[in-house]
A and B are shown apart, each in its own frame.
Chain A
Amino acid sequence: MVHLVSAWAERYMSEHPGANISVTGGGTGTGISALINGTTDICAASRNIKPEEKEMAEKKRRPPVEFTVARDAIAVIVNKNNPISELTLEQLKAIYTGAVTNWTQVGGPDQPIQVVSRESSSGTYAFFQEHVLQNEDYVATAQLLPATAAIVQAISSEPWSIGYVGLGYVAGAGGSIKAIGIKTRDASPAVGASEETVLSGAYGISRALFLYAVEPATPSIQAFVDFCTGPEGQRIVRETGYVAVR
């Protein structure tokens, strides 16, 4: 999420010459504790604030206020010639942890599954690991590719590979890949990844992204949050591969 906030900060500063925003990364936990300790005015978070964090903040007289600024969703993609069109979250986890290694095991043809992932430095890698793999390790034979474009290239030329990309990248990827539907449970219907299903919460691999500030927000902080949720800010959200909330 840090590159989204950096993009916002850069654009905001170029539009408001007096404003000075410095952005540092480190993860949601780091950001929230910085907000509680008063070393930052705004923190970005890719999860809700935990009850104990909220309690601690209130104890320090820095009650947090939450703004939902974007959504992050991951589309699972396969080659367009792959007959598989849907998987459950359970099956996806089995594929990515190496418990399932052949397409027959998930109802496909007798072909080995080549697992493709982003590099471990990517936020998408961490989100997918947390959300789909439930913090288990990726199978060691997973290919770790340095960029989304490399994943799209691999999936479009290799018929039995499976990969994942930020939802924002699927539309521009062309017709040689397809995003498959995700079933959160065996019995539930498969849901395709789209802005609507992400916003309604029906799509299984998505999360909200937040900004937190201290209540009451000062005018300068409110102005920045308004910018992020405004048309220009939400355009940047789409540009960086996330899903706009407005």
Chain B
Amino acid sequence: MSSWWKEAIIKWLLRACASTSILIVALIFLFLLKEAGPFAREPGLGSLLSTRWAPVSPKVPGFGIVPLLTGSLLVTGLATVIAIPFGVIGAVFISEVAGRREREFLKPFIELLASIPSVVLGFFGLVVLAPAVRQAFQLSTGLTALTGSLLLALMAIPTIVSISEDAIRSVPASYKEASMALGASRLQTIWRVTVPAALSGIIAAIMLGMGRVVGETMAVLMVTGNSAVVTLDPFRSVRTMTATIAAEMGEVTFHSTHYQSLFWIGIVLLLVTFTFNLIAQRVLARYRNF
């Protein structure tokens, strides 16, 4: 009897530990909803759909988060487009082409890239990258969506490389052997057999990279210029959701409409990253089945 109880208690303890993160996510979501809630009555959720973000305007405050959403999506999309070739080709090289010593040299450096604090990258972006972007494209300002995307791509590459590499490595050797036996060259095997077989893992890697990029704050706050305009032009300044929360939360009056609107941005942001992660999970689950 006593051993049955022990077993049960330990089982529940383990279950509690495992569920902590679910509980925390649920509590965070509830907290966001509680703080953001009154906004739904006054001025109403419809005002979030406007394109004017001017929360401290002395005349008519505007709480439209459309420019912030498009800003975040533009920066994230560009960063992904930039990061994919480097990330995927890097992963292919490390797992399929590089020798052991090369791999042991490359991997730590790619992991090091992931560990650079984003404020340091932001500082680099502000002082080095922004003036370079301005000169390269003959712009009036270097603080653009593109500058932010380049920095964010640097942050996404390590995630994409390491998860894609896992996916490529777990392609069964029999696939490659069969391809070679049929007379395909090494390059043909990589691009026609190995990469397509690992594709769902690579897509999951890209989605996880995007999840990291869309939630990144400090670097984008420093280099994207933070103009709340709706645009798809990579050479203009944009304001992202994360930068808005970070820049405005410090001085906002507690429980004011402005404060609540910042929590709505938080909710939207959480939903976006949640979607990215969900897609990544789905895709990963599929590739584990083969």
**Chain A positions near chain B (C-beta within 8 angstroms):** 25-26, 111-112, 114, 119-122, 125-126, 129-130, 135-138, 140-146, 150, 153-154, 157-158, 160-161
A112 partner, pick from B54, B140, B227, beta carbons under 8 A: B140
CB distance from A80 to the nearest CB of B (A): 15
Residue interface mask B239-270, A partner, CB < 8 A = 1: 10000000110111100000000000000000
A144 partner, pick from B59, B131, B239, B253, beta carbons under 8 A: B239
Say what secondary structure dominates the interface of chain B. loop
| Cβ–Cβ contact B253 & A121, under 8 A | no
Chain B residue, CB-CB nearest to A149: B126
Judged by a CB distance under 8 angstroms, whether B55 is at the interface is yes
Alpha-carbon distance A136/B143, docked complex (angstroms):
25
Alpha-carbon distance A142/B143, docked complex (angstroms):
11
| Cβ–Cβ contact A137 & B57, under 8 A | yes
Residue interface mask B43-76, A partner, CB < 8 A = 1: 0000000001111111100000001000000000
CB distance from B249 to the nearest CB of A (A): 8
- Residues of B within 8 A of A (CB-CB), count: 34
Q: Known contacts A121-B248, A144-B227, A153-B127: does B141 contact A114 (CB below 8 Å)?
A: yes
B247 partner, pick from A137, A144, A153, beta carbons under 8 A: A144
* Stretch of B178-186, B197-205, B207-215, B218-226 contacting A (4+ beta carbons < 8 Å): B218-226
Alpha-carbon distance A144/B228, docked complex (angstroms):
9
B58 partner, pick from A112, A135, A153, A154, beta carbons under 8 A: A135
Judged by a CB distance under 8 angstroms, whether B130 is at the interface is yes
Judged by a CB distance under 8 angstroms, whether B33 is at the interface is no
Q: Known contacts A126-B56, A143-B237, A146-B221: does B142 contact A158 (CB below 8 Å)?
A: yes
Q: Known contacts A119-B226, A119-B247, A143-B141: does B59 contact A137 (CB below 8 Å)?
A: yes
| Cβ–Cβ contact A157 & B58, under 8 A | no
8 closest A-B pairs by beta carbon, nearest first, are A121-B251, A143-B225, A135-B58, A144-B226, A157-B131, A119-B247, A120-B56, A114-B141
Q: Known contacts A120-B56, A150-B126: does B229 contact A140 (CB below 8 Å)?
A: yes
| Cβ–Cβ contact B134 & A158, under 8 A | yes
| Cβ–Cβ contact B140 & A158, under 8 A | yes
